[in-house]
């Protein structure tokens, strides 16, 4: 069956947007119409050099971007009103997406929002392996944040197969993203998030609706990846082997081991670079196999995983596009295609 090629525009070429653009460009059933942004710095110049058409997200920025030396094909509104776009991936800063929704509604275009927006902006929050069907045919879908994506994959996977009574998760966040480490961030400290529970738990419930989860979070003095610690109480009992089997079967979850030299978040980044991944990105969630522990009574599971904060949501954006446009109705087939095109694996080494 011949399928349409979905025409995608990425609005906001930042940490997530640039990665989603490249990921969409690799899909056989999608193409990147262009990217839109409001600045003309090195990031957008690299996008232009890659061959992406550049649009100005707001008309008043077009001239500034041209003065910076960019060839600007037009404004976001212009390209949308031509009917040239099927889906906008909105990766603008948080709360800007909610503002943009009016434009997308006015133009009758579908849009994928990111985790910085509230669940209500889209009405459907999305992690492909958990609730692909909820997004089928929808105009608006929200891909949840990196932390929530990781929780939904790992904890959600255990919940789906073994049933969790209560999940309690601690999150040690990176201070800031790499690209902005020169002008913000923290140094030699840990900064707790004083709102307890942190927003990640309720956010995970927008995807895994029946999960009892509480999260606490703090920022560390580093800029690559988050570390999560999960303490899960099961409804029943399980062995360590059973939990390991669940995690091995779960898509986009990979096992790593300290015994193989994977000592910290830095090791994860080095692996992604050694694998030749674009930008050193990892789309999978690495779970430490040697730390995976089940209590003697089989009722509690303790585990730790790394959350690649810049990149784990990238395949979710791709799958969200397939679900919304219904070019693929099955989650497993969309996931398999995305993973194949992004070079994703079930064993990193």
Contact set with a copy of itself (CB under 8 A): 168, 170, 172, 186, 188-197, 214, 216, 218-225, 227, 229, 231, 258, 263-266, 288, 290-293, 295, 300, 302-304
Q: Residue 201 annotated as binding?
A: yes
Answer yes or no: is 12 a known binding residue.
no
| Strand partners of residue 294 | 301
- The smaller minimum CB distance to a copy of itself, of residues 46 and 191, is found at 191
Nearer to a copy of itself, 5 or 293 (CB): 293
- Shortest distance, CB of residue 309 to a copy of itself, whole angstroms? 12
* Least distance to a copy of itself, CB of residue 53, Å: 36
DSSP 21-52: HHHHHT-TTEEEEEEEES--SHHHHHHHHTT-
d(CA 228, CA 5): 38
Is residue 295 part of an annotated ligand binding site?
no
Beta-carbon contacts of residue 275 (< 8 Å; ≥ 6 apart): 343, 348
**β-sheet bridge partners, residue 172:** 218, 227
Which residue's CB is nearer to a copy of itself, number 208 or number 304? 304
Nearer to a copy of itself, 191 or 345 (CB): 191
Q: Distance between CA atoms of 117 and 229, rounded to whole angstroms?
A: 25
Whether 11 has a binding-site annotation, put simply, is: no
SS3 string, 252-313, reads CEEEECHHHCCCCHHHHHHHHHHCCCHHHCCCCEEEECCCCEECCCCCEEEEEEEECCCCCC
The least distance separating a copy of itself from the CB of residue 272, rounded to whole angstroms, comes to 14
Would you say 146 is a known binding-site residue?
Answer: yes
Q: How many CB atoms lie within 10 A of CB 136?
A: 17
Element (H, E) at 102: helix 96-107
- Give the residue numbers annotated as catalytic, written as ranges: 146
CA distance 292 to 269: 21
Closest to 315 (Cα-Cα) out of 348, 347, 337, 290: 337
121 or 294: CB nearest a copy of itself:
294
Residue 156 known to bind ligand? no
CA–CA dist 205, 64 (Å, integer) = 42
145 marked as part of a ligand binding site:
yes
CB of 152 to a copy of itself, least distance (A): 20
What number of other Cβ atoms are within 10 A of residue 165's Cβ? 13
* Residue 95 φ/ψ region, left for φ over 0, alpha for ψ in the -120 to 50 degree band, beta for the rest: left
Q: Nearest approach, Cβ of 240 to a copy of itself (angstroms)?
A: 11
Q: Which residues contact 61 (CB under 8 A, 6 or more apart)?
A: 38, 39
CB of 294 to a copy of itself, least distance (A): 10
Nearer to a copy of itself, 275 or 291 (CB): 291
309 is in an annotated binding site: yes
Distance CA 216, CA 148 (A): 13
- Binding residue positions for NAD(+): 37, 116, 174, 309
């Amino acid at each position: 069956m011949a399928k349409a090629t979905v025409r995608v525009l990425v609005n906001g070429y930042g940490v997530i947007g640039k990665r989603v653009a490249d990921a969409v460009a690799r899909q056989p059933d999608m193409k990147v119409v262009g990217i839109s942004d409001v600045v003309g710095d090195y990031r957008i110049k690299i996008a232009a050099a890659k061959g992406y058409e550049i649009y100005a997200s707001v008309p008043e920025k077009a001239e500034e971007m041209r003065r910076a030396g960019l060839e600007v094909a037009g404004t976001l509104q212009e390209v949308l009103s031509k009917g040239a776009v099927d889906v906008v991936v909105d990766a603008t800063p948080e709360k800007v997406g909610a503002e943009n929704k009016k434009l997308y509604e006015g133009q009758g275009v579908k849009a994928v929002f990111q985790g910085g927006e509230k669940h209500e902006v889209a009405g459907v929050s999305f992690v492909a392996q958990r609730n692909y069907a909820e997004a089928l045919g929808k105009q608006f879908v929200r891909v949840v944040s990196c932390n929530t994506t990781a929780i939904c994959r790992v904890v959600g996977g255990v919940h789906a197969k073994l049933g969790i009574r209560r999940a309690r998760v601690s999150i040690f966040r990176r201070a800031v993203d790499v690209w902005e480490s020169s002008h913000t961030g923290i140094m030699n400290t840990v900064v707790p998030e004083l709102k307890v529970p942190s927003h990640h738990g309720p956010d995970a419930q927008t995807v895994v609706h029946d999960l009892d989860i509480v999260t606490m979070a703090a920022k560390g003095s580093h800029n690559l990846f988050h570390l999560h610690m999960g303490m899960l109480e099961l409804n029943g009992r399980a062995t360590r082997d059973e939990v390991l089997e669940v995690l091995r079967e779960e898509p986009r979850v990979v096992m790593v081991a300290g015994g193989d030299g994977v000592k910290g978040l830095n090791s994860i980044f080095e692996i992604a670079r050694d694998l030749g991944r674009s930008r050193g990105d990892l789309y999978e969630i690495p779970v430490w196999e040697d730390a995976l522990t089940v209590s003697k009574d089989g009722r509690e599971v303790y585990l730790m995983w790394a959350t690649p904060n810049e990149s784990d949501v990238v395949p979710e954006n791709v799958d969200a596009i397939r679900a919304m446009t219904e070019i693929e109705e099955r989650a497993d087939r969309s996931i398999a295609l995305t993973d194949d095109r992004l070079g994703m694996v079930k064993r990193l080494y």
